[in-house]
Amino acid sequence: MKELLETVRKDLKGRDLLTLHDFTVPQINFLLEEASRIKALQKAGIPHPYLQGKTLAMIFQKSSTRTRVSFEVAMFQLGGHALFLSPRDIQMGRGESVADTAKVLSRMVDGIMIRTYAQSEVEELAEHATVPVINGLTDLTHPCQILADLLTIKEHKGTLKGLKLAYVGDGNNIVHSLLYGCAKVGMHISVATPEGYEPKAEVVKLAQQDAQETGAQIAILTDPVQAVTDADVVVTDVWASMGQEAEQREREKAFAAYQVNRELCSQAKSDFIFLHCLPAHRGEEVTAEIIDGPHSVVWDEAENRLHAQKAVLATLL
């Protein structure tokens, strides 16, 4: 077993994290175990400076609370250093190509995290960089968030395989990464979205291919009650993500029947847990009664961004 873990660790060293689909089942399970181990060290007050002298460049085309703080604190506690780079701070925001930026940064830092709009921009950065590139979020995927989600579910449920996760809301980057993540760890996932807001067909297809290996079941539905029935985990996200603010009113009408509230959650198992990647809009996608209630684990989920990303950084860098 120890030899297998070392093999997985060596395979991950120097890798990019662009989507969870790119990782094998053992690799994702390894990252989750590593996150739990490093979290235990921190809780016990044991230093873990695995990245002493290492530097991470953090490119933010999109702002964030949890992504910036978790990556910056993670690098500090791992003994390294993080550089915050906004479009105002680097030439990529003034017309320098992604490829040139990747080549320059690779000569100076040990890894690059980017939070941006287009998945193609992350892929281009990874293509030309010679250091690991980590996807901190794109409009297509959010792999670091879902690693934290899986860690949180495992902590509260003791296992992942065979659980049912229900997602209600917009078929966005969170759903895409949940589809990949659940398929990899053997969790069943039911997604309920209004017509026209479904997850991308190509993502669903790839997740279904992964699910064949683990026995996970995937259902894409329009009925939120059907999705939530007998769920162990209920998840939602904002109806209008960053960059979609102009669609707010239109989306409020489309998603009116998709609010996660007490009535809907009564269809889930009595010990269900509720997750939300935050920020949340109480009274829209979720009621305060649910997100601030006894089933909510959103604060554990937010904290676990730190621990999951420590595992990613310590392993890839």
| Residue 152 assigned ligand-binding role | no
The answer to whether 163 is a known ligand-binding residue is no
Cα–Cα distances in angstroms (integers) from residue 81 to residues 52, 142, 304, in the given order: 9, 23, 20
Q: Is 214 annotated as a binding residue?
A: no
Is 107 catalytic? The answer is no
Find out whether 64 is annotated in a ligand binding site: yes
Which residue among 27, 77, 110, 115 is the active-site one? 115
Annotation says 305 is catalytic: yes
Q: Is 145 annotated as a binding residue?
A: yes
The response to whether 115 counts as a known ligand-binding position is yes
Query: Per the annotation, does 52 bind a ligand?
Result: no
237 is catalytic: yes
Among residues 27, 145, 259, 309, the one annotated as catalytic is: 145
Q: Is 182 annotated as a binding residue?
A: no
282 assigned binding-site residue: no
Is residue 275 a known part of a binding site?
no
Residue 304 labeled ligand binder: no
- Report the b/e string of 10-21 with b at 16+ CB within 10 A: eebeebbbbbbb
Q: Which tokens is 259 given? A: 């609010």
Among residues 27, 237, 251, 307, the one annotated as catalytic is: 237
CA dist., res. 205 & res. 227, Å (int)? 19
| Whole-angstrom distance, CA of residue 192 vs CA of residue 245 | 22
Choice among 27, 110, 142, 188 that is catalytic: 142
| Residues linked to residue 137 through DSSP beta bridges, in sequence order | 115
266-284 residues labelled b (16+ CB within 10 A) or e (exposed): ebbbeebbbbbbbebeeeb
Question: Integer distance in angstroms from the first to the last C-alpha of the chain?
Answer: 23
| Greatest pairwise CA separation for the chain in angstroms | 55
Catalytic residue among 27, 77, 232, 277: 277
Q: Does 16 participate in catalysis according to the annotation?
A: no
Has 170 been annotated as catalytic?
Answer: no
| 8 A C-beta contact, residue 82 and residue 76 | yes
Is 144 annotated in some ligand binding site? yes
Catalytic residues: 115, 142, 145, 237, 277, 305
Show binding-site residues for L-ornithine.
Answer: 173, 237, 241-242
Show binding-site residues for carbamoyl phosphate.
Answer: 64-67, 91, 115, 142-145, 277-278, 305
Show binding-site residues.
Answer: 64-67, 91, 115, 142-145, 173, 237, 241-242, 277-278, 305
